[in-house]
């Protein structure tokens, strides 16, 4: 998988928000990573770490402050011409967190799913459009009859399936799933994750999976990036991150995951991490390569201390 040319190359991406004349929020401050075709890249971190901002910058809901984003051979970081915008809007899709809020309540589900097809003229006849929608509904585990219903007639899990159908009907190369299971119940989460995985096996889509639930991220991702304070502090394969974490923030995150095992859980104490106390300054750190695809953000002295 790694031998391919990356599908998405992000270099020194910065996304700042000017909140007032003298204060700028540096939500994302110099992030590099690549995503290879067909893999699932998990992005984890606490709230406010900038993981959702990255997703939104990639799909150009924001205009990036600086850095390069190369997607499928196109530069999508600066001003885009019409052709590029059109291609980006087809080839990159997003699944949102809240299935209640992301579907237009006044449109029927069939219309919601077909909206992308309508805009980009991706069918030649009415019957083809209908066929495509029905097929997609079947793929996500709903019935074609459901296309005449409104979003409020569905349960949370079903609504998230509609969100997935809407994204995948465009045959995208990259799907950004922003906390797409956090709003669902435990028993429904597993259903949606299984669905996403089987659709990936079928279509070969690439996922950028943004979440704060590390156990789910571990389960679904091939590679993981750990975000903190707008910096990507550590990235590597799932194996590398979970078995050999280096950065103290990653370690504290891993130690904090509650595990369904009362035997060990009762005694476990989570490690704490305070970057101010430890004097870690992310802007001074450099990405150090630790073998494989394992990278960690650290200064030379810090690296010696942590390894």
Q: Smallest gap, in angstroms, from Cβ of residue 25 to other proteins?
A: 16
Give the x-and-dash track for 122-161 against other proteins (CB under 8 A): ---------------------------------x-xx---
Q: Smallest gap, in angstroms, from Cβ of residue 129 to other proteins?
A: 29
Q: Smallest gap, in angstroms, from Cβ of residue 289 to other proteins?
A: 24
Residue 276 binding other proteins, by CB under 8 A: no
With CB under 8 A as the contact rule, the residue among 2, 215, 278, 283 that binds other proteins is 215
Q: Select 119 or 143, whichever has its Cβ closest to other proteins.
A: 143
Report residue 144: phi and psi, to 5°.
-55, -30
Q: Select 60 or 139, whichever has its Cβ closest to other proteins.
A: 139
CB atoms within 10 A of CB 233: 26
Residue 261 binding other proteins, by CB under 8 A: yes
Report how far Cα 290 is from the mean position of its chain's Cα atoms: 24
Site residues for other proteins, 226-245, by CB under 8 A, read: 242
Residue 304 binding other proteins, by CB under 8 A: no
Separation of alpha carbons 16 and 11, rounded Å: 15
E strand segments, 21-102: 23-35, 40-44, 66-71, 74-75, 92-95
Beta-sheet pairing, 223-228 with 231-237: antiparallel
Q: Select 31 or 226, whichever has its Cβ closest to other proteins.
A: 226
Q: Select 65 or 97, whichever has its Cβ closest to other proteins.
A: 97
Query: Which DSSP string corresponds to 237-272?
Result: EHHHHHHS--SHHHHHHHHH---S-HHHHTT-----
Size of the site for other proteins (CB under 8 A): 44
Sign of the Cα torsion 108, 113, 119, 125 reads negative
Separation of alpha carbons 112 and 102, rounded Å: 10
Residue 207 binding other proteins, by CB under 8 A: no
Q: Select 171 or 198, whichever has its Cβ closest to other proteins.
A: 198
Residue 15 binding other proteins, by CB under 8 A: no
Separation of alpha carbons 53 and 78, rounded Å: 17
Residue with tokens 């409020």: 152
- Which residues lie near other proteins (CB under 8 A)? 46-47, 155, 157-158, 185-191, 193-194, 197, 212-216, 218-219, 242, 252-270, 272-273
């Amino acid at each position: 998988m790694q031998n391919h040319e990356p599908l998405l190359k992000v270099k020194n991406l910065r996304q700042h928000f000017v909140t007032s004349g003298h204060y700028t929020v540096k939500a994302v401050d110099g992030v590099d990573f690549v995503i290879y075709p067909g893999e699932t890249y998990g992005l984890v971190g606490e709230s406010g770490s900038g993981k959702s901002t990255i997703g939104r910058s990639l799909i150009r809901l924001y205009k990036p402050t600086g850095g390069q984003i190369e997607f499928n051979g196109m530069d999508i970081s600066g001003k885009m011409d019409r052709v590029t915008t059109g291609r980006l809007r087809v080839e990159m899709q997003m699944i949102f967190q809240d299935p209640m809020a992301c579907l237009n309540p006044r449109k029927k589900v069939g219309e919601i799913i077909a909206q992308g097809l309508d805009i980009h003229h991706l069918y030649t006849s009415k019957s083809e459009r209908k066929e495509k929608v029905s097929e997609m509904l079947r793929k996500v585990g709903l019935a074609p009859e459901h296309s005449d219903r409104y979003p409020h007639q569905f349960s949370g899990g079903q609504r998230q399936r509609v969100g997935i159908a809407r994204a995948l009907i465009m045959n995208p190369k990259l799907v950004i799933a922003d906390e797409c299971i956090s709003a669902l119940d435990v028993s429904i989460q597993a259903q949606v994750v299984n669905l996403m995985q089987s659709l990936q096996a079928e279509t070969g889509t690439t996922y950028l999976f943004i979440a704060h639930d590390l156990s789910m991220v571990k389960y679904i991702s091939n590679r993981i990036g750990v975000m903190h304070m707008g910096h990507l502090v550590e990235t590597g394969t799932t194996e590398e991150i979970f078995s050999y974490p280096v950065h103290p923030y990653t370690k504290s995150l891993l130690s904090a995951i509650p595990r369904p095992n009362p035997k060990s859980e009762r005694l476990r104490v989570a490690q704490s991490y305070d970057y101010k106390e430890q004097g870690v300054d992310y802007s001074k750190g450099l990405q150090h390569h630790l073998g494989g695809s394992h990278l960690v953000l650290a200064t030379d002295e810090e690296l010696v201390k942590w390894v």
